[in-house]
Amino acid sequence: MNGNDRSERHPGAAQDAAAAGRPGELIRSAVVFVALSYAISWALWIPAVRIYLADPRITPLGLGLVLVGAYGPTIAAFLLTARSGGAPAARALGARYLRFRAGVLWPILALGIPAAVFLIGIGFNVLAGAERPTPVWSALTLGSFLGRVAFALPFGPLAEEAGWRGYLLPLLQRRWSALTSSLVIGVIWTLWHIPMFWVPGAALPPEVAPSVGSVGIYLLGVSATSIIATFLYNSSAGSLGVAVLYHLGTNLWHQVLAPVFVGEATAAWRDLRLPALAANGLVALAIVALFGARRLSRREVVV
């Protein structure tokens, strides 16, 4: 365990590893989950990338392969949960999408933190010498907002969170601190995106080619995001709904707010990438300082 004897039992992670309590079994369960997640996603993503590289246009086939492949972590989570705990454990994992028992604060924070990170990034950009933007609020319409939500929600948020937060995080927190678990997930989460690095805008910014440097910067951002996601997940008593909302916010707000503050989303990627990365990192560091590495929360660790 991670030294904290207060924890909430989670049916979404491997039951056999929990019962045995052996490091070898825990690591084996984690490796099986990661391997299965990668296998499902990459089996669909690699053909999608080949289609894109041959003809760099959005096609129904390519988009469909990317979308279904994004569900690799969630498919793996439910398959392994059902294998170890049967249908009741799989249903319990699914029920966490609708769990908001910790109160309304956490869904609000889940959506609010990514928006705040974007705005703080703008502030950092201004402090670095950029011109102070004049918001064009007319660029923010209900129709465009709902359209972006409808497009963003099925890809990362619904596709991934049952895997990273619902299955892998509780499994790792059975032995390691919440911070260590978050950083491990940050590496796994980053490398899972490897095929998407060759599709501009799918993981890396549209104008950034895959390289050691660009992937390293991406890893820093994902690791900070993983820490914040753990804070929200543990604080909300293991709510996948809160995790989905946070993931939605990280994918959504720069698309929604960029037209208001910087004109269009590509400019936001280019001008605000590093300032937003710094803002995201500061939020993650503040969480560690305020809540401690063991739990990243005032509540029990979710395991």
Is the pLDDT assigned to residue 17 strictly greater than 70?
no
pLDDT tens for 215-226 read 999 999 999 999
CA-derived radius of gyration, the chain: 19
Would you kindly state where each structural domain of the chain is located, as residue ranges? 7-302
pLDDT tens for 131-181 read 888 888 888 889 989 999 999 999 999 999 999 999 999 999 999 999 999
Contact 296, 231 (CB under 8 A): yes
> Amino acid identity, residue 143?
G
Contact 72, 194 (CB under 8 A): no
Exposed (0-12), middle (13-18) or buried (19+): which is 264, by Cβ within 10 Å? exposed
pLDDT tens for 257-271 read 888 888 766 666 677
* Helix residue spans in the chain (DSSP H): 15-20, 23-54, 60-69, 72-95, 105-127, 142-152, 156-163, 169-173, 178-192, 212-235, 240-261, 265-291
CB-side neighbour CA atoms (13 Å) of 19: 6
- pTM value is 0.91
